[in-house]
Amino acid sequence: MESLYLLIPLSLVLVFVIGGIFWWATHSGQFDDLEGPAHRILMDDDRPHKDDTPAQN
């Protein structure tokens, strides 16, 4: 029973910390574009890079 005096305040602090982190993430734009990075990884750059061309002697 006495452990509840420690566990209840700790759980409330944890809830407020997680809520604050979630509030910060939503207001700083972390969840604005969820599909953009997933689509960008599929876009290939078909142009050869400068260092990929064979050297001419």
Q: What are the structural domain ranges in the chain?
A: 1-43
Nearest Cα neighbor of 34 from 24, 23, 26, 22 is 26
Residue 51 has pLDDT above 80, yes or no: no
Using one digit for the tens of pLDDT, what is the confidence trace for 22-47? 999 999 988 888 888 778 888 776 66
Q: SS3 letters for 1-57?
A: CCCHHHHHHHHHHHHHHHHHHHHHHHHCCCCCCCCHHHHHCCCCCCCCCHHHCCCCC
Task: For residues 12 and 57, give the distance between their C-alpha atoms in angstroms, rounded to a whole number.
Answer: 71
Instruction: Report the pLDDT value the prediction gives residue 57, as an integer from 0 to 100.
Output: 62
